């Protein structure tokens, strides 16, 4: 009897250890070098991020081809792909489905009139990741949500190949492509103008300056009478958008 109990206990322990290991997710964090991979896509082999040095890169992961939410997301992405191009950003879509499925799905989406607009030709590659190698590398598989398909992840990667932004949406809620564009523009502006970006910032709004640190430093800044900056409190300074 003791032996049977011991075997059952060992079995339960092994199962529990195995399932814990399966649920471990490692997401590349902000500032980290983007993990490298080579993968097949609808536009041929992708060597990421090395082949795209000096360009902004935006990766969208999605759960499954021929599904309703994913289809609306990719159609919206196609409608706005030119805006990404104008920001010198390259779009990559990734799922754990295969290449043939991706190609058939692209054909189908290009024939759909969503919100009375004809879907433009989809110019961005869809990566096939049937063995989940890339999805795992980027922490896109969230096993408590789904252990074999990606959640809706977005990574924005800078021209020097570092992770600058990431977010995850659940399977049942589609992403807002305009918000991703807003973050991309905000990141680019922040770097170019050496400014911070306030809450709910939209293109055309003023920027934030780093806090002067002390009331005395704020008074010194005020004494400069710079017409391009103004403050609402000693720690809250804005730079006018030109
Ligand atoms: C969708 O995109 O609609 C979807 C994807 C996976 C599971 C359920 C829905």
Strand partners, 239: 207, 229
C-alpha 151 – ligand 1 centre gap (Å)? 9
Ligand 1, residue 172: give the atom nearest the CA: 9
C-alpha 202 – ligand 1 centre gap (Å)? 30
Q: How far are the Cα atoms of 23, 193, 225, 239 from residue 210, in angstroms, in the given order?
A: 40, 12, 17, 10
Q: How far are the Cα atoms of 32, 51, 56, 115, 157 from residue 187, in angstroms, in the given order?
A: 16, 22, 10, 30, 10
pLDDT at residue number 242: 82
C-alpha 173 – ligand 1 centre gap (Å)? 9
Testing ligand 1's pocket by substitution, the residue of 60, 62, 64 carrying the most ligand atoms inside 8 A of its CB is: 64
d(CA 135, CA 127): 10
What does the longest C-alpha to C-alpha distance in the chain come to?
87
**Cβ 44 under 6 angstroms from ligand 1:** no
Q: How many CA atoms are closer than 13 Å to the CA of 164, on its beta-carbon side?
A: 20
Ligand 1, residue 71: give the atom nearest the CA: 2
* pTM score: 0.90
**Cβ 74 under 6 angstroms from ligand 1:** no
**Contacts of residue 127, Cβ cutoff 8 Å, sequence gap at least 6:** 39, 40, 41, 46, 92, 93, 94, 95, 134
d(CA 164, CA 181): 13
| pLDDT tens-digit profile, the chain (242 residues) | 666 665 655 655 555 555 555 689 999 999 999 999 999 999 999 999 999 999 999 999 999 999 999 999 999 999 999 999 999 999 999 999 999 999 999 999 999 999 999 999 999 999 999 999 999 999 999 999 999 999 999 999 999 999 999 999 999 999 999 999 999 999 999 999 999 999 999 999 999 999 999 999 999 999 999 999 999 999 999 999 98
pLDDT at residue number 17: 52
Give the pair of three-digit tokens for residue 187. 């990141």
pLDDT at residue number 18: 52
pLDDT at residue number 112: 96
**Cβ 69 under 6 angstroms from ligand 1:** yes
pLDDT at residue number 126: 98
**Cβ 63 under 6 angstroms from ligand 1:** yes
The catalytic residues are 70
C-alpha 69 – ligand 1 centre gap (Å)? 6
Contact 132, 96 (CB under 8 A): yes
pLDDT at residue number 23: 81
**Cβ 212 under 6 angstroms from ligand 1:** no
């Amino acid at each position: 009897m003791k032996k049977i109990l011991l075997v059952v206990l060992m079995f339960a322990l092994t199962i529990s250890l195995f399932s814990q290991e399966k649920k471990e997710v490692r997401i590349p964090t902000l500032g980290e070098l983007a993990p490298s991979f080579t993968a097949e896509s609808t536009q041929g082999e992708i060597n990421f991020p090395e082949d795209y040095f000096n360009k902004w890169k935006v990766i969208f992961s999605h759960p499954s081809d021929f599904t309703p939410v994913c289809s609306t997301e990719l159609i919206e992405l196609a409608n706005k792909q030119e805006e990404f191009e104008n920001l010198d950003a390259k779009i990559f879509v990734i799922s754990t489905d295969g290449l043939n499925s991706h190609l058939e799905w692209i054909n189908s989406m290009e024939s759909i009139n969503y919100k009375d607009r004809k879907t433009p030709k989809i110019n961005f590659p869809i990566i096939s990741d049937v063995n989940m190698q890339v999805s795992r590398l980027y922490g896109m598989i969230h096993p408590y949500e789904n252990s074999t398909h990606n959640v809706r992840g977005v990574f924005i990667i800078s021209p020097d190949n570092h992770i600058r932004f990431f977010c995850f949406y659940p399977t049942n809620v589609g992403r807002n492509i305009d918000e991703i564009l807003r973050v991309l523009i905000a990141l680019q502006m922040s770097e170019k103008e050496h400014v911070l970006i306030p809450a709910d910032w939209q293109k055309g709004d003023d920027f934030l300056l780093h806090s002067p640190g002390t009331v005395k430093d704020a008074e010194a800044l005020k004494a400069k009478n710079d017409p391009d900056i103004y403050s609402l409190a000693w720690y809250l300074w804005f730079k006018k958008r030109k």
